[in-house]
Each structure stands twice: as C-alpha cells, then as structure tokens.
Structure 1
C-alpha cells in the first residue's frame, strides 16, 4: 500500500504542476504579458529598456480610447509601443505644436515635460495633417493613428511603412511600467 500511495502522491504533484503551468501560460497568453520598450520613441513616458505589462483583455471588453498607450505588431519580428491619437473617423491636424482633432483643440499634458526640455525652442511636433502623410483625410474604419511621445525621434503613423495601425494588430494597452523598480507606475492616458 505504501508504493501505491507514493505513486498517487507523485501523480497529484505532476497534475498540480501542470495545472499551475497552464494557468500561468493562459494568463500570459490571453490576459497580460510583459514586454520590453526598445528605443527612445516614447520618452519621457517610457525609456529604452523599461518593461511594461500589456493588458490584452481590457481592450477586448471595451473599445480603445484616444491617448491609450498600445503595443502593436509592426512587423513579424517587432512590436511597437505608441500612443493612440486618432480613432476611426478622426481628422488629425497639428499646428504650432497643438493637436486638433475634427477641428477641436486637445491638450497633451504628457508632452509638456518634453516641450520644456527642447534646447532649440522649436516645436516638438511639426505642423501636419494626416492627409499630408498618408493621403487620407480621416482615419479609416478599423484603424488607428498613433504617435510616439518623442515626436522628433519616433517611427509611427507618420511613416508610410507603418501608416494607420489595423486594430487587429493591436496586442493590448500598456497599463503598468514595472521595471526598473524606480520607474514603477500605472500608466494613464494623461501621463
């Protein structure tokens, strides 16, 4: 009876480990995933090497909102992290470093720190319309227009190789910056 009890106990441990592994895999694959920020395109919000948690489930339950920070599949090998500026149907214009969406002025407080730090006292975001870069007057249905917070050093929707981001390429929102520990913070649309 002793060997049978040991065998049953071993099987129970194996089952427990497998269930734990499946739970961790499921959470990572379907709900949340860590990702590493590469490059300076989202400074000062994110620095090169920061690690963030991508919330994959939240956007499936609600719609993406303007100024959400998202991670999307840019190429087969690369994911990009950018901020949503334009939603489907939006007409985007920048004039004198001010964002206008459908003719209405929008504040971007997450850029103020960067604007104050400009050494040449120029604009952070050049004057443009979506039509200038992508030949469309508005953001098409099923797509997003995204920009990096470091507007001078970002490859984003202004680049025709990226262009409008299809919503089905979005992996989720970057809600938590967790590494390095001194950068730990929850990301909101206005940070």
Structure 2
C-alpha cells in the first residue's frame, strides 16, 4: 500500500472518529437538557380517580408546568397538582386564593360577594338530576376562616359529588403545589390544552 493511500485512510478514519464523537456529545447534551427540563420545568402525571371528570379523565396522562409558580402566583381556576399526603398527589381546581371569601349558594359560586360563572361545570350540572351539584357552604362553615389565609389556596374537584378536596382536607399550602396542569397528551384522542377560565 502506497504512503498516499495510508494517509488518506488515516484521514478518513480520523474524520469518522470526530463525527462519532460530535454525535455522542450532541446526544449527551440533548439528554441532559431533556432531563433538566423534565426535572425542573415540566413533569408528567397519570391521573387516578374521577374527581376532575369530565375535565380530566381517570387514566389520562398530563403535562405539569413546575416552574410557573416560581415566577408567578396561583390564580383562581388554575388546575394544579399538589402534595396531599406524603404518599399521594391530587389534582384539583383553585377556587379561592389568599384573601378570598368563598361561598356557594343555589349552585352559584360567590367570591368576595361576587357571583362567578363556572363554565367547566356545565356538563356536570346538566347531567345531575338530584338537586344542587355543589351543595351550599361558606368558607367559615367548613374551615372556620373568613378568608383564605396567606400562603394557601382553596381547591375543589370539578366532579363536586365525588371529590376529596378543601371541603374535607382544608386549605392547600402554596408550597405544596407541584405545578399547573398544561395539557393532556394520552390517550392521543384526548389531547388538549388546559386554559384558565377568566371571569
């Protein structure tokens, strides 16, 4: 084999080695970034139970934004994941934020004396035939507080007749909130984004 051929072969080998190393580095960076994004910015959950139906169904997989409340604050009607116990995380909807007085009367939500529409309950109300879908209560009657305390939120499930929420477990600490539900991605036919309903 001539010296020129050997040099060309060595150059090709060196070129391929550089290409492989470049690809390995690129893949490693991508995996690290995906790990960081998943670990610190977003995570996914499988929903268990029927407390949020029909907004969120049992067995659906959802993406949760973990960074949103690091730069913002929880808002009324956000769908949140929070640590309910050491073993369990719940998904519920924020109904009251710090300073709010919450009351239900005649199946209508009143916050600080002002009535609020809850469009996300329309399907449930239309299909419920046994009186009030959300029974009458006031914040004082179930928590002993006139307002939601600073550092806490008041949450309810959309399936009001089948939900373990602030009516039973009390206020949720803001520091126990994992994040805000952004979208459902599985099963694919149920893919959708969640938006906060504004009054």
TM-score by length of 1: 0.90
Aligned residue in 2 for 1:188: 195
Aligned residue in 2 for 1:124: 133
Matched, 1:61 2:71: yes
Aligned residue in 2 for 1:25: 35
Query: Which structure 1 segments of 5+ residues have no match?
Result: none
Distance 2:54 2:98 in 1: 27
Aligned-residue offset at 1:58: 2.4
Distance 2:100 2:149 in 1: 8
**For 1:91, which of 83, 101, 114 is the aligned residue?**
101
Aligned-residue offset at 1:22: 1.1
Query: Which structure 2 segments of 5+ residues have no match?
Result: 1-9
Aligned-residue offset at 1:57: 2.1
Distance 1:145 1:21 in 2: 38
Aligned residue in 2 for 1:115: 125
Distance 2:87 2:39 in 1: 17
Q: Deviations over 1:115-163 (max 9, x none)?
A: 000132x11111111121111111000000000000110001111xx31
Aligned residue in 1 for 2:4: none
Structure 2 counterpart SS, 1:84:
strand
For residues 1-191 of structure 1, the aligned pairs below 5 Å read 11-120=21-130, 122-159=131-168, 162-190=169-197
User: RMSD of the alignment, in Å?
Assistant: 1.9
TM-score by length of 2: 0.87
Aligned-residue offset at 1:14: 4.0
Structure 2 counterpart SS, 1:172:
strand
Q: Which has the higher helix share?
A: 2
